[in-house]
């Protein structure tokens, strides 16, 4: 067996280099087909990995967008609360003035009634 291999190797070495280079590195069509299939599988795997990365980046971007939206909503809610507080302060000031006026009017009216009819009490 080894003798035959040696003979074949010697014969091959006698051939010009271009003849050897013309020979297929794959011995059979089935090996070539298997190699093409493996390459397609690797390409598909790379594409799935790229797609997964794009999806993760998209999810991250969507989540960041949601966070920004929530932050804007919180800021709007704080602004509305401040506005309500200011409005209640400005509304309550005239209300307080009216209440004071009523109290003073009420007190003066009571005082007058007491002076007019001290016996009713």
Pick from 87, 113, 72: which is nearest to 64 by CA? 72
The three-state secondary structure class of 21 is: helix
Work out the average pLDDT over 59-87: 91
pTM beyond 0.75, yes or no: no
pLDDT: which is higher, 83 or 104 = 83
Dist. CA 111–CA 99, nearest whole Å: 18
**Cβ atoms 25, 35 nearer than 8 A:** no
How many residues make up the chain in this entry?
Answer: 121
Say what the pLDDT of residue 9 is: 83
Query: How sure is the predictor about 18, in pLDDT bands with cuts at 50, 70 and 90?
Result: low
Rg (CA), the chain: 48
Q: pLDDT of 27-72, one tens digit each? A: 678 888 899 999 999 999 999 999 999 888 888 888 888 899 999 9
12 Cβ contact list (under 8 Å, min separation 6) = 20
- Among the residue ranges 9-13, 19-23, 34-38, 86-90, the one predicted with the least confidence is 19-23
Q: What is the dihedral of CA 103, 107, 110, 116, to 10 degrees?
A: -140
The structural domains of the chain, with segments of one domain joined by +, span 31-120
Q: Which two tokens stand for residue 87?
A: 């409005």
Most confident of 3-7, 42-46, 99-103: 42-46
Dist. CA 27–CA 5, nearest whole Å: 17
């Amino acid at each position: 067996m080894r003798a035959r291999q040696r003979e074949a190797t010697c014969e091959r070495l006698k051939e010009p280099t271009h003849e050897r280079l013309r020979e297929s590195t794959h011995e059979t069509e089935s090996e070539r087909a298997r190699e093409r299939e493996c390459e397609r599988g690797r390409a598909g795997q790379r594409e799935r990995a790229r797609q997964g990365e794009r999806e993760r980046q998209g999810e991250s971007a969507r989540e960041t967008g949601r966070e920004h939206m929530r932050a804007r909503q919180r800021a709007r809610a704080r602004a509305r609360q401040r506005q309500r507080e200011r409005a209640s302060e400005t509304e309550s000031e005239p209300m307080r003035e009216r209440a004071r006026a009523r109290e003073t009017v009420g007190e003066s009216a009571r005082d007058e009634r007491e002076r007019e009819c001290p016996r009713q009490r």
